[in-house]
Amino acid sequence: MFDAQDIEAIWLTLIVAGRAVGFALPLAVVAAWALARGRFAGHAMLNTLVHLPLVLPPVVTGWLLLIVFGIRGPIGSRLMEWFGMRLVFTTNGAALACAVMTFPVMVRAIRLSLEAVDPGLEAAARSLGAGWFDRMLTITMPLASPGILVGGIVGFATCLGEFGAVITFAASIPGETRTLPLAIYAALQEPGGEERAAALALVSLALALTGLLLSDWLARRLNRVLGR
Protein backbone atom coordinates (compact mmCIF):
# COMPACT_ATOMS: atom_id res chain seq x y z
CA MET A 1 0.00 0.00 0.00
CA PHE A 2 2.85 2.42 0.84
CA ASP A 3 6.03 2.66 -1.20
CA ALA A 4 9.40 3.72 0.12
CA GLN A 5 8.68 7.37 -0.62
CA ASP A 6 5.46 7.33 1.42
CA ILE A 7 7.17 5.71 4.37
CA GLU A 8 9.89 8.34 4.07
CA ALA A 9 7.28 11.13 4.11
CA ILE A 10 5.61 9.71 7.23
CA TRP A 11 8.91 9.24 9.02
CA LEU A 12 10.08 12.71 7.97
CA THR A 13 6.86 14.25 9.29
CA LEU A 14 7.45 12.72 12.71
CA ILE A 15 11.09 13.90 12.73
CA VAL A 16 10.14 17.45 11.72
CA ALA A 17 7.37 17.62 14.34
CA GLY A 18 9.68 16.15 17.00
CA ARG A 19 12.43 18.67 16.34
CA ALA A 20 9.94 21.54 16.17
CA VAL A 21 8.44 20.66 19.57
CA GLY A 22 11.85 19.93 21.10
CA PHE A 23 13.03 23.36 20.05
CA ALA A 24 9.88 25.38 20.68
CA LEU A 25 8.55 23.86 23.93
CA PRO A 26 11.24 25.24 26.28
CA LEU A 27 10.86 28.66 24.66
CA ALA A 28 7.08 28.38 24.93
CA VAL A 29 7.40 27.67 28.67
CA VAL A 30 9.53 30.80 29.10
CA ALA A 31 7.15 32.93 27.00
CA ALA A 32 4.10 31.56 28.81
CA TRP A 33 5.71 32.23 32.17
CA ALA A 34 6.55 35.80 31.16
CA LEU A 35 2.99 36.37 29.93
CA ALA A 36 1.34 34.72 32.95
CA ARG A 37 3.51 36.18 35.72
CA GLY A 38 5.63 38.96 34.27
CA ARG A 39 4.84 42.64 34.61
CA PHE A 40 7.05 44.44 32.16
CA ALA A 41 6.81 47.20 29.56
CA GLY A 42 6.58 45.04 26.43
CA HIS A 43 3.95 42.63 27.81
CA ALA A 44 1.26 43.46 25.23
CA MET A 45 3.86 43.51 22.48
CA LEU A 46 5.14 40.03 23.38
CA ASN A 47 1.59 38.72 23.57
CA THR A 48 0.84 40.05 20.08
CA LEU A 49 4.08 38.72 18.64
CA VAL A 50 3.49 35.23 20.06
CA HIS A 51 -0.02 35.09 18.64
CA LEU A 52 0.82 36.61 15.26
CA PRO A 53 1.31 33.31 13.37
CA LEU A 54 -2.21 32.33 14.45
CA VAL A 55 -3.80 35.16 12.47
CA LEU A 56 -1.30 35.69 9.63
CA PRO A 57 -1.79 33.67 6.44
CA PRO A 58 0.77 30.83 6.72
CA VAL A 59 2.26 31.78 3.42
CA VAL A 60 3.06 35.23 4.83
CA THR A 61 4.71 33.65 7.90
CA GLY A 62 6.76 31.45 5.56
CA TRP A 63 7.78 34.43 3.50
CA LEU A 64 8.76 36.44 6.62
CA LEU A 65 10.88 33.46 7.71
CA LEU A 66 12.56 33.53 4.29
CA ILE A 67 13.39 37.19 4.77
CA VAL A 68 14.81 36.69 8.28
CA PHE A 69 16.34 33.20 8.03
CA GLY A 70 17.14 33.13 4.30
CA ILE A 71 20.85 32.94 3.43
CA ARG A 72 20.85 36.70 2.89
CA GLY A 73 18.58 37.41 5.89
CA PRO A 74 19.86 39.07 9.09
CA ILE A 75 19.85 35.83 11.08
CA GLY A 76 20.16 33.33 8.24
CA SER A 77 23.38 34.87 6.91
CA ARG A 78 25.00 34.73 10.35
CA LEU A 79 23.96 31.12 10.94
CA MET A 80 25.61 30.31 7.60
CA GLU A 81 28.70 32.34 8.41
CA TRP A 82 29.24 31.11 11.97
CA PHE A 83 27.93 27.55 11.94
CA GLY A 84 27.72 26.77 8.24
CA MET A 85 24.04 26.05 8.89
CA ARG A 86 21.43 26.57 6.23
CA LEU A 87 17.76 26.51 7.13
CA VAL A 88 16.08 27.26 3.83
CA PHE A 89 15.06 24.09 1.94
CA THR A 90 16.26 21.78 4.76
CA THR A 91 14.60 19.48 7.29
CA ASN A 92 15.61 21.85 10.10
CA GLY A 93 14.04 24.70 8.14
CA ALA A 94 10.77 22.75 7.91
CA ALA A 95 10.99 22.17 11.68
CA LEU A 96 11.53 25.91 12.27
CA ALA A 97 8.50 26.79 10.15
CA CYS A 98 6.41 24.25 12.11
CA ALA A 99 7.76 25.55 15.42
CA VAL A 100 6.79 29.14 14.64
CA MET A 101 3.33 28.12 13.47
CA THR A 102 2.55 26.00 16.54
CA PHE A 103 4.18 28.32 19.06
CA PRO A 104 0.93 30.17 19.92
CA VAL A 105 -0.88 26.87 20.57
CA MET A 106 1.79 25.72 23.00
CA VAL A 107 2.08 29.07 24.79
CA ARG A 108 -1.67 29.22 25.27
CA ALA A 109 -1.93 25.77 26.85
CA ILE A 110 1.06 26.34 29.14
CA ARG A 111 -0.03 29.84 30.13
CA LEU A 112 -3.47 28.61 31.19
CA SER A 113 -1.96 25.96 33.43
CA LEU A 114 0.58 28.38 34.89
CA GLU A 115 -2.17 30.83 35.71
CA ALA A 116 -4.02 28.03 37.48
CA VAL A 117 -1.09 27.43 39.87
CA ASP A 118 -2.03 28.93 43.26
CA PRO A 119 0.54 31.63 44.13
CA GLY A 120 -0.25 30.79 47.76
CA LEU A 121 1.55 27.47 47.32
CA GLU A 122 4.63 29.30 46.08
CA ALA A 123 4.44 31.61 49.08
CA ALA A 124 4.25 28.53 51.32
CA ALA A 125 7.33 27.05 49.62
CA ARG A 126 9.07 30.38 50.13
CA SER A 127 8.41 30.38 53.85
CA LEU A 128 9.82 26.84 53.94
CA GLY A 129 13.14 28.09 52.59
CA ALA A 130 12.82 27.54 48.84
CA GLY A 131 14.46 30.19 46.65
CA TRP A 132 13.16 31.35 43.26
CA PHE A 133 14.69 28.65 41.06
CA ASP A 134 13.99 25.96 43.65
CA ARG A 135 10.29 26.95 43.80
CA MET A 136 10.08 27.03 40.03
CA LEU A 137 11.50 23.52 39.77
CA THR A 138 9.70 21.86 42.68
CA ILE A 139 6.34 23.66 42.82
CA THR A 140 5.43 25.77 39.80
CA MET A 141 6.56 23.48 36.99
CA PRO A 142 5.23 20.22 38.47
CA LEU A 143 1.85 21.86 39.06
CA ALA A 144 1.83 23.27 35.53
CA SER A 145 3.05 19.99 34.03
CA PRO A 146 -0.34 18.92 32.62
CA GLY A 147 -0.45 22.12 30.59
CA ILE A 148 3.13 21.76 29.42
CA LEU A 149 2.50 18.17 28.37
CA VAL A 150 -0.73 18.99 26.60
CA GLY A 151 0.97 21.95 24.93
CA GLY A 152 3.71 19.66 23.66
CA ILE A 153 1.36 16.99 22.36
CA VAL A 154 -1.09 19.38 20.72
CA GLY A 155 1.88 21.27 19.29
CA PHE A 156 3.24 18.00 17.89
CA ALA A 157 -0.12 17.10 16.36
CA THR A 158 -0.45 20.57 14.83
CA CYS A 159 3.04 20.28 13.32
CA LEU A 160 1.93 17.14 11.48
CA GLY A 161 -0.46 19.28 9.46
CA GLU A 162 1.61 22.40 8.74
CA PHE A 163 1.52 23.23 5.07
CA GLY A 164 1.71 26.88 3.97
CA ALA A 165 4.67 28.09 5.97
CA VAL A 166 6.64 24.88 5.36
CA ILE A 167 6.21 24.87 1.59
CA THR A 168 7.03 28.59 1.36
CA PHE A 169 10.13 28.49 3.56
CA ALA A 170 11.44 24.96 2.99
CA ALA A 171 9.84 23.98 -0.35
CA SER A 172 8.69 20.41 -1.07
CA ILE A 173 11.85 18.34 -1.48
CA PRO A 174 11.24 14.57 -1.19
CA GLY A 175 13.21 13.13 1.73
CA GLU A 176 14.19 16.61 2.99
CA THR A 177 11.12 18.74 3.54
CA ARG A 178 8.21 16.88 1.96
CA THR A 179 6.12 16.08 5.03
CA LEU A 180 2.72 14.32 4.95
CA PRO A 181 0.55 17.30 3.95
CA LEU A 182 3.05 18.24 1.25
CA ALA A 183 3.17 14.65 0.00
CA ILE A 184 -0.63 14.53 -0.13
CA TYR A 185 -0.68 17.76 -2.10
CA ALA A 186 2.00 16.44 -4.49
CA ALA A 187 0.06 13.17 -4.99
CA LEU A 188 -3.06 15.11 -5.87
CA GLN A 189 -1.09 17.02 -8.54
CA GLU A 190 -0.16 13.76 -10.33
CA PRO A 191 -2.70 12.11 -12.66
CA GLY A 192 -4.18 9.05 -10.91
CA GLY A 193 -2.65 10.00 -7.55
CA GLU A 194 -5.98 10.12 -5.66
CA GLU A 195 -5.60 6.66 -4.20
CA ARG A 196 -2.17 7.46 -2.82
CA ALA A 197 -3.43 10.77 -1.47
CA ALA A 198 -6.30 9.00 0.28
CA ALA A 199 -3.96 6.48 1.92
CA LEU A 200 -1.67 9.24 3.18
CA ALA A 201 -4.67 11.27 4.36
CA LEU A 202 -5.77 8.26 6.45
CA VAL A 203 -2.34 8.14 8.09
CA SER A 204 -2.62 11.85 8.76
CA LEU A 205 -6.02 11.37 10.36
CA ALA A 206 -4.80 8.47 12.49
CA LEU A 207 -1.80 10.45 13.77
CA ALA A 208 -3.93 13.49 14.63
CA LEU A 209 -6.51 11.39 16.47
CA THR A 210 -3.82 9.52 18.40
CA GLY A 211 -2.23 12.80 19.44
CA LEU A 212 -5.45 14.31 20.71
CA LEU A 213 -6.56 11.17 22.54
CA LEU A 214 -3.12 10.79 24.10
CA SER A 215 -3.06 14.37 25.34
CA ASP A 216 -6.51 14.03 26.82
CA TRP A 217 -5.63 10.79 28.60
CA LEU A 218 -2.30 12.08 29.91
CA ALA A 219 -3.80 15.32 31.16
CA ARG A 220 -6.47 13.43 33.05
CA ARG A 221 -3.92 11.08 34.58
CA LEU A 222 -1.64 13.90 35.65
CA ASN A 223 -4.51 15.86 37.11
CA ARG A 224 -5.48 12.83 39.13
CA VAL A 225 -1.93 12.59 40.47
CA LEU A 226 -2.14 16.26 41.39
CA GLY A 227 -5.39 15.61 43.19
CA ARG A 228 -7.66 17.71 41.00
Partner 1 sequence: MSIEVALRHRFADKTLDIRFTAPSPGVTALFGRSGAGKSTALMTIAGLLRPDACRIVIDGEVLADTAAGLWLAPERRRVGLVFQDARLFPHLSVAGNLRYGQRRAPPGAIGFDEVVDLLGIADLLGRRPHTLSGGERQRVAIGRALLSQPRLLLLDEPLSGLDGARKAEILPYLARLKAALRLPMLYVSHAPDEVLRLADTLVLIKDGHVVGTGPVAEVAARGDLPFARRNDAGALLLGHVMGHEAARGLTRIEGGGAVWLVPLLDRPVGATCRIRIPAREVILAAKVPEAISVQNIVPGTLRHIEAETARHSALVEIGLPDGTLLARVTPDAIARLGLSVGGPVLALVKSTAIEVL
- Residue ranges that bind partner 1, judged by CB under 8 A: 118, 120-121, 123-131, 134, 138-139, 142-143, 225-228
Amino acid at position 172, single letter = S
In contact, 172 and 182? CB cutoff 8 Å: yes
Nearer to partner 1, 84 or 131 (CB): 131
Question: Closest distance between partner 1 and the C-beta of residue 215, in Å?
Answer: 19
Nearer to partner 1, 34 or 144 (CB): 144
Query: Using CA atoms, how far apart are residues 120 and 203, in angstroms rounded to an integer?
Result: 46
Question: Closest distance between partner 1 and the C-beta of residue 84, in Å?
Answer: 44
How would you class 130 by CB atoms within 10 Å of its CB: exposed for 0-12, middle for 13-18, buried for 19 or more? middle
Query: Using CA atoms, how far apart are residues 163 and 167, in angstroms rounded to an integer?
Result: 6
Question: Closest distance between partner 1 and the C-beta of residue 177, in Å?
Answer: 41
In contact, 102 and 158? CB cutoff 8 Å: yes
Nearer to partner 1, 149 or 166 (CB): 149
Question: Closest distance between partner 1 and the C-beta of residue 204, in Å?
Answer: 36
Nearer to partner 1, 127 or 189 (CB): 127
